[in-house]
Amino acid sequence: MMEKPMVAQSVPIAVEVEAGKTYWWCACGRSSKQPFCDGSHKDTGFAPQRYEAADSRRVFFCACKQSDRAPVCDGSHKKL
């Protein structure tokens, strides 16, 4: 059984993304560069999730790591 991800923080993280750029969202909650991966998932069974920005805009990335719409926030942090 895979361990649960760590809650990095209890609110989403707003990021201005650039169209066409690829981002790697931290799925384990251990990264010091939230909401993005820094390699801290090594040996945890987690892997970062790719996010390809279709448009340049503000995106609210999940930081509680419970979103059913990961890597973006779906409000799951309100249930913690």
Tell me what pLDDT residue 72 has: 98
| Residue range 19-29, pLDDT digits in tens | 999 999 999 99
Which long-range contacts link 52-56 to residues 24+ away (Cβ below 8 Å)?
A: 52/20, 52/21, 52/22, 52/23, 53/17, 53/18, 53/19, 53/20, 53/21, 53/22, 53/23, 54/19, 55/19, 56/16, 56/17, 56/18, 56/19
* Number of structural domains in the chain: 1
pLDDT tens for each residue of 40-61:
999 999 999 999 999 999 999 9
State the residue range of the domain holding 17: 1-80
pLDDT value of position 48: 98
